[in-house]
Each structure stands twice: as C-alpha cells, then as structure tokens.
Amino acid sequence: MHSFRTPTFLRVPLRLFAIFAISSFLLTGCTSQATRQAEQAVTSFYAGDYLAAENGLRPLADNTNNDFVLNNARLGSVALTNYDIPQAEAAFLKAYEVMNSVGVNNGGRSLGAALVSENIKVWKGEPFDRAMVNFYLGMIYYMHHDYENARAAFENALFKLRDYGESKDSKDTDKYRTIESRFVLANLMLAKSWQRLGRDDLAVANFNRVAQLRPDLAALANPELNAKSNFLLVVETGTGPHIVTDFNGSIAGFGPKPYQVGPISCPMVYLDGRSMPTSDLARPTEDLLALAQDRVWQSIDTIRTVKSVIGTGLIAAGAVEGVRGAYDHGSGQRQDLIAGAALVGAGLLLKATSQADTRAWELLPRTTFVIPLHLDPGAHDVSIQFPGGLSQTWRGVTLPPDNSELTLYMRCLPWHQGPFQWPPPGLNQPLPAPAPPAH
C-alpha cells in the first residue's frame, strides 16, 4: 500500500492556498451578520414597521464600510416613507457624496473585487440607483421649497443617466439620448424647480422635453397647470428591480421584467371623499423595471464571467488529471492525484469568488406618479386608491393661502394605508413666513 505524501514542490503552494481559502471564508462570514441585520430591516420595512427598520439601519449606515452607500440609501427610503425628513436628507446626502466621488474603490478594493469577491468594492449602485438618490434628494428640497438645491439634484439625476449611457468602449454618442429619455421624472421635476425659481424659459424647455420624450405625459408637462398648482402629490408604488443570477451564480441581471409583473396600475385621487379628474395626470413617469433592463454591463462582470469559465476549465483539467492518476502507478500516481485535487480546488475557488454581487437597494418602488393639483386653501382629506385595494389616506392636509406648493409624498404599501394626520410628527416644517411688524 502506498503512503500518500504530498510532493515537495506542491507543499508551499498548497499551504498558501489553504490559508487563502480559509481566510476568504472567514472574511465572508464577518460581513454576514451586518447583511442579516440589513435584511431584517428591509423585512421590517415591507411589514410596515418603519421604526424597527430605521433603528436597524441607522448603525449600519454609520459604518463606512463597503455597504455605506447602500445602507444610507436604504435608511433614506425608510425615513422618507416614515416622514422623518431630516434623517432622510442626511442619509441620502451621505449616499450622494460617495456616489459623486471617484476613486472610492481604488487600490485593494478594486483588486479584491476583481480577484477575490465583488462584494469587497464599495457599492455605488447602478445608474438608476444613483438617479433615484438624486431624485429623492431633489424631492426633499422641493418639499422644503429649497428650489435651488432641488434643481441641482434633479440635474444631477440626469447627469448620472448620461454617464449610464456612456459605454467605456463605445463611440455611440446616441446612447446618451436613449437613456435620458427613460427618466423623464427628473426632467419634469427639474422643469417645476426652474418654474419656482422664476426661470420660465428653462422651465418651458424642460416641460417641452418631457412632452417630446413622452407624448402621453403632455398634459402633465403643461407649464400653466404646474404654475397654478398649489398641491403636488408624489405617489410611489410597486417594488423595484432586484438582482437575479443564473444557475451558476455568476452572471447578474435585473428582474423581474416588466411583462412578468404586468402593466402599472394608475391611481384614483379622492379629495374630501370626492373623486378628482386626474386620469390624464396620474400616469407613471417611469418604470424602474424597464429601466433596469437597459443596464450596461461593466468590466467587473466580464472578469467574473472569465473567472467562472477558467474555474470550470480547471475543474475539468483536475478531473482528467485525477482519472489519469487512477490508472497510473507509484510516484507518478501520487503526483497526478495531488495535481488533480489542486486543480479542482483552484477551480472551485475561482468559481466561488466569481459569484455575482447581489447587493441591491431593495426598497425602490417600481414607479413614481407626479400629480400637480390646484385646490382651495384650507384643510383637506386626500386619498389615493389603486385598483386592487391598495390605498393611502391623509387627513387635515392644510394648504397655505399663498401660491406656494405643498408637496405630499406617499409610498403606497399594503401595511401603510393610514389614515394619517397631517402634518406628520417627523416632518420638519418649513420656516414660518415673516410676520407683519408688531409695533
């Protein structure tokens, strides 16, 4: 019987390989607790327990690790839904600042993402994630009548989408227009911001852009209608895209596809119990599920695919070597078997580290409705109702006597239907208008 000894030339590489494999496993284990906590927070959000979701995400969002941007985006979503506006602004601003930075992943993170695990890189989101962070920031500033910053944020949402369309290898400049045309939400809000800033020329240009790109939104992009509006409903519904992998776990895409979940239902608006004629306004401005299908593959995906293919090749070569060893004799057999095992191990490791980065901002909606209305000043009860029973109600929404526009954000979820009382406790009220002189 042969004693099974490792050949000298293989000892050092195999030991190093074992250390590498064990360390990789341990590293992965360290992050899983935070991942579980984040998943728990997401579950709490969809169960309607926003306080638990916020409390769960807040410590994660303070940790400046590779999930810093993601956890702040999540926290922003939860806080916004819960009308904790200062928290939402702070969280989205943190995400915005890192998203707007370059070189965040330089050095070890890039190498680690390419060779070890893509999860090592700082998550900066897909371009539609970045656009939505900017949209939310813009909406928060718009709610507070800070139209300068709202304009900047909406511009930045379009700016990011331009980057989205700009393939690193492609000379196709038309790609930019195609991508921008899918995010008219930012164009629309940019137009409204310019209008509130008194730049009607730029407002009209952006309204025209909306109507040009989406003729079905022409009524919504009417400058006069928006100028008269003193009540803006921003309604979000559905669930955004999530990452899907193939059987091998190596290629990431986004799902579900729009046709798999059906068309977007349009809501009815009720004011003080009476239905409002909003059928030409309450139309989806965008569909994130459709947008996500346009994702431009990045170089890291190519690396991951190549790693997976090489891993498969190594496993096959190891199997051949092992079979050859089984029919060999003496020291040759030992070397063949060990070499086969090493090849299979290397292949498995490569395939294991080629798994897709499945981190995603799970709290995004599928679509956003923007509904500008002109109502009488005073208190109103406002309801939104979707076919199928999903609804949300706010009571005592008080419109100011001046021409300023009150923005009401509604995230329609099954466990978040109200009725809610306006103003919500977490809303940072705008500063009071200057009082008349007292003396």
Smaller CB separation from other proteins, 100 or 181: 100
Nearer to other proteins, 94 or 182 (CB): 94
Does 330 participate in binding other proteins (rule CB under 8 A)? no
Q: Which of 56, 76, 112, 311 binds other proteins (CB under 8 A)?
A: 112
The least CB distance from residue 237 to other proteins, in Å, is: 27
Question: Among 146-154, 203-211, 243-251, 270-278, which window interacts with other proteins (CB under 8 A)?
Answer: 146-154
Task: State which residue, 206 or 417, has the beta carbon closest to other proteins.
Answer: 206
Task: Quote the least distance from Cβ 7 to other proteins, whole Å.
Answer: 8
Sites for other proteins among residues 22-51 (CB under 8 A): 23-24
Contact range with other proteins by CB under 8 A, out of 144-152, 211-219, 373-381, 417-425: 144-152
Q: Greatest CA separation found in the chain?
A: 109
Joined tokens for residue 256? 């579900």
Is the peptide bond prior to 241 cis by the omega test (within 30 degrees of 0)? no
Of positions 29, 103, 330, 389, contacts other proteins by CB under 8 A: 103
Residues that contact other proteins, how many (by CB under 8 A): 74
Q: Which pair of tokens denotes residue 389? A: 């029973």
Which of residues 170 and 275 has its CB atom nearest to other proteins in the complex? Answer: 170
Binder among 2, 4, 168, 262 for other proteins (CB under 8 A):
168
- DSSP three-state, residue 119: helix
Among residue numbers 197 through 236, which ones bind other proteins (CB under 8 A)? none
Could you say which DSSP state residue 386 is in? -
Q: Does 7 sit near other proteins (CB under 8 A)?
A: yes
Question: Measured between alpha carbons, how far is 213 from 195 in angstroms, rounded to an integer?
Answer: 20
Task: Give the residue from 361, 430, 394, 343 showing the smallest Cα distance to 133.
Answer: 361
Distance, CA of 89 to CA of 76 (rounded, Å) = 7
Residues in region 283-322 near other proteins by CB under 8 A: 298-300
* Tokens 């002189």 -> residue: 437
Instruction: Please identify, among the stretches 39-47, 48-56, 149-157, 376-384, the one whose residues bind other proteins according to the rule CB under 8 A.
Output: 149-157
Residues from 67 through 86 that contact other proteins (CB under 8 A): 68-69
Among 255, 271, 262, 218, residue whose Cα is nearest residue 387? 262
Question: Quick check: 259 binds other proteins (CB under 8 A)?
Answer: no
435 binds other proteins (CB under 8 A): yes
Helical residues (DSSP H) of 327-387, grouped into ranges? 330-352
Cα–Cα distance measured from residue 229 to residue 372, given in angstroms and rounded to the nearest whole number = 5
- Written as six digits, the tokens of 330 are 């003496």
**Which residue in 75, 85, 91, 120 binds other proteins (CB under 8 A)?**
120
Q: Vertex 127, ends 124 and 131: CA angle to 5°? A: 100
Q: What is the dihedral of CA 262, 53, 423, 430, to 10 degrees?
A: -100
